[in-house]
Structure 1
Amino acid sequence: MDRASDRHILGSRLAEGLDPADIARRALASDIVVAPGNVFGRSQSACNFLGFNVSQCAEPRIFKMIAATMGK
């Protein structure tokens, strides 16, 4: 069963100048799903956050992709 309550999302604040929507698009091109923070609320106050599914964070490719999209 896949219920919303079974998903654990971790929000991470990005450094200034990084665009979470751009990172999410680049990640998706590598079959990795992350979400810009603003998809989690109506107030649009999380524009510098990126959401990760914690259950996927055990995969090293997640962190390689993040480092690559952040220019590190």
Structure 2
Amino acid sequence: LIVDRSIQPRDGHVVIAVIDGEMTVKRLSTSPTGVVLKAENPDYPDLHVAELSDFRVWGVATTCLHHLN
């Protein structure tokens, strides 16, 4: 992945997020009810970010150089 840390993350972006010290790559989904990090792989669950979690978006993925299986 090529990641741009200068891009302001928006709904629908693929982001590198840090939740309680753990990094993950997921699609950002924001709504009035909260933040969900959506998994593109159906084998993995979506992550609903709890209000008291230590959460930040580290960067926005801009390019994938190749597909991983």
| TM-score band, normalised by shorter chain | under 0.3
Normalised by the length of structure 2, the TM-score is 0.25
Q: Which has the higher contact order (CA 8 A, sep 6+)?
A: 2
- Larger helix percent: 1
Normalised by the length of structure 1, the TM-score is 0.25
